[in-house]
Chains A and B, each alone.
Chain A
Amino acid sequence: MADKVPLLLSLAVAIFALGLLGVVVRRNVLVMLMCMELMLNGVNLSLVTFAHQTGTAVGAVLVFLIFVVAAAEIAIAIPIVLLLVRSKRTLDLDAYTDLKG
């Protein structure tokens, strides 16, 4: 199991990087949200890996915390997206640049 740690960490980094790239390049709001989830899960994976490696429960606990927060976050984010779409009938983020402060 221990020899798989580098592999798992590489996977975590790959997932995180994939998510980040998605957030930066994709224009669809929903896809961006999903990419954010990917980033979170990449981090989660690394946390679980480290927890397993050190044999403590702290990492695992943190992962559950992140799940909860992520669920709450999505529960807020999806309605926001829905409202946005209702006003402009598009999922393209560039249409919403007039929201700047």
Chain B
Amino acid sequence: MNHLLTLIVLLPLAGFLLNGLAGPRLGKRFVTAVGCGLPILAFLATVQCVLTLNAAGDPLVERVYTWARIGESTFDVAFYFDRLTAVMTLIVTGVGSLIHVYSVGYMKEDKGYARYFAYLNLFLFFMLLLVLGRSLLVLFVGWEGVGLASYLLIGFWFEDAEKARAGKKAFIVNRIGDAGFLVGMFVLYSTLGTLDMDRINAAFMASPMPAVSASLVGILLFIGATGKSAQIPLYVWLPDAMAGPTPVSALIHAATMVTAGVYMIARLSGIYVHAPEASQVIAVVGVLTAFFAATIAIAQTDIKRVLAYSTISQLGFMFVALGVGAYGVAIFHLYTHAFFKACLFLGSGSVIHALSGEQDIRKMGGLARKIPVTFVTFAVATAAIAGLPPLAGYFSKDEILWFAFASERGGSPLLWGLAAGTALLTAFYMFRLLWLTFFGRSRMTPEVEHHIHESPFSMTSVLVVLAVFSAIGGFFSIPHFLEPLLPMPEAKHELHHLETPLVVVSVVLALLGLAAAAFFFGRDAERANRLRPRFAGLQKLLYDKYYIDELYDRLITRPLYWISDRVFLRIGDRALLDGTLNGLAGLAQRTAGALGRVQTGNLHLYALFVLLGSLACLLLVWRHV
């Protein structure tokens, strides 16, 4: 009982070790039992912890062991479980377990079955470490660990060089953000002397504020969050991360890992409450990311890529909420997003599965009748993300929009305008996806069409569960549940009367998006096709993602290559370092060559040298005595 939190964390680790070491030898049954069973056990343990938490009221704290003791300071590995952690852990283990179950069907034929489940469990272990850790240090270990697991899973089919490269890209881009995160940690530790997050919050809440700029720390930590949670300017890794198996995209790049940045900022809300500048930056970056990614999503043709940009966009929404001080609302959206985005990703996985690997929505169409369960769940999740009432996404997005408009901590009509525009775009591109995939005439090759089949029960059942939660999840008010921990910002008094009109506006926007998508892409996308030549330039710009990857390549990657090659490799390494060493070695060699001539092997010569030497010594002594 006392070590339940530790147990939650260690169960997936055990799964990783068992499957990683013995999995391939013990057969698929064993791998499935371990790979799915242990996450489910972790979920049950979490439920038990939540019950304990509700009964006790106080946060549960478990000190596992002392990691390091350096002088006066000690670094403990401790787990901390309050309401925020509870929500996060439930999402991670709950949605995580569902996706594990789904994977059983999806990965059935793969030869790396055991390896896949081992990685998945490893990911879950690090994610739980991240969420449950009390100290920033433990969080950071989890933070890096999920990065590693994500790298392994994105590059799961590493025989394909393109996919392996996507894994590397994700890892490297994340490292850039981590640098900021680390520096933020250093600043916090050097001023506060502790990395325990509850203590950091308490220190910032105390009356003499710590002698450190909260905004500086806030921005540094936010840089870390932009990497992990795919915000401008470090979002570029996420679309490429779709190279991994689809359940991985659902687990890592929709439901859990990418929300780590949101969680971290909500967890350290004590800092951000006192950092209006940092909060402003977060809100602006968030809303720009949301809008920007949504426009890209409109023109993408790969089903998973649309979802990837939609994920970036939704994460932007969460950051808007964080930026205006509505931390509980951000977690609310995180929670609803976990359901509907996991459902969408898994649904897309089911579509891809049905079409024997086809991902291009231009080659789909008319699937609604052929795979009805996938269609219905996908449609529910689409409506949820678009924000149609009374589905889950409606509640969370609506609250975000309201606080973006009216929060005392940086809400503004402009912020609302952009966010509302994004909501409209979201509805539009999601329904476009739905139409192109499931309605209209079939654009598939006869070969593919012949093989279409609904996914097995293990996959569809998960879809149904997630769709149900996408539909009803919004009725459980997370912000209210978190209120004691993360108080809501005050709404500007004079704007209160606008609350209801704004709700109406956001519903109208969602319906407008639906209508527009239906108008343009109904009837086999006739109108969209007619319109396309007129906007060819814009279409190409969006399809090519604003050439941001190319821009980064020109501005950062190539100069770096150039400097690394010309300056560091040719001048620094080869000329300076190797040159010095080779020069010294060459000098020794040449000197030895010259002196070696003396060694003739002629004993008489040696004796003569001895004689001359002795005489020289004698002469010297005689001269100086």
Residues of A within 8 A of B600 (CB): 97, 100
A101 is an interface residue with CB less than 8 A from chain B = yes
State the Cβ distance, B616 to closest chain A Cβ, in Å. 15
Indicate if B538 sits at the interface (CB-CB under 8 A): no
**A93: B residues at CB distance < 8 A:** 602-604
Determine whether the beta carbon of B602 is less than 8 Å from that of A23. no
Q: Secondary structure of the B side of the interface?
A: helix
Q: How far is the CA of A99 from the CA of B606 in the complex (A)?
A: 13
Counted as pairs of residues, one from A and one from B, with CB atoms less than 8 Å apart, the total is 26
Whole-angstrom CA separation of A99 from B600 in the bound complex: 9
> Whose C-beta in chain B lies nearest to the C-beta of A94?
B602
Q: Is B611 among interface residues, defined by CB-CB distance under 8 A?
A: yes
Of the residues B599, B601, B604, contact of A27 by C-beta under 8 Å: B604
Q: Is the CB of B602 within 8 A of A24?
A: no
Chain B stretch 583-625: residues in CB contact (< 8 A) with chain A? 599-604, 607-608, 611
Q: In the assembly, what is the distance between CA of A25 and CA of B600, in Å?
A: 16
Contact residues of B with A, CB < 8 Å? 599-604, 607-608, 611
Min CB distance A77 to B, Å, is 13
In the bound complex, do residue A100 and residue B601 qualify as a contact, i.e. CB atoms below 8 Å apart?
yes
A25 contacts B601, C-beta separation under 8 Å: no
B607 contact set on A, CB distance < 8 A? 20, 23-24
- The answer to whether B611 touches A98, judged by C-beta atoms less than 8 angstroms apart, is no
The 7 tightest CB contacts between A and B, nearest first, are A100-B601, A97-B601, A24-B607, A23-B607, A93-B603, A100-B599, A97-B602
A15 → chain B closest CB, angstroms: 16
- Judged by a CB distance under 8 angstroms, whether A67 is at the interface is no
- 12 cross-chain CB contacts under 8 A: A20-B607, A20-B611, A24-B604, A24-B608, A27-B604, A32-B603, A93-B603, A96-B601, A97-B601, A97-B602, A98-B601, A100-B601
Chain B minimum-CB-distance residue to A99: B601
B604 is contacted by which of A25, A100, A101 (Cβ under 8 Å)? A25
Which A residue sits closest to B608, measured CB to CB?
A24
Residues of A within 8 A of B604 (CB): 23-25, 27, 93
- Chain A residues near B601 (CB-CB < 8 A): 96-100
Most buried by A among B601, B608, B611: B601
In whole angstroms, how far apart are the Cα atoms of A101 and B603 in the complex? 12
Residues in chain A near residue B608, CB distance under 8 A: 24
Closest to B599 in A: A100
Interface residues of A in 1-41 (CB under 8 A from B): 20, 23-25, 27, 32
With both beta carbons as reference points, the residue of chain A lying nearest to B602 in the complex is identified as: A97
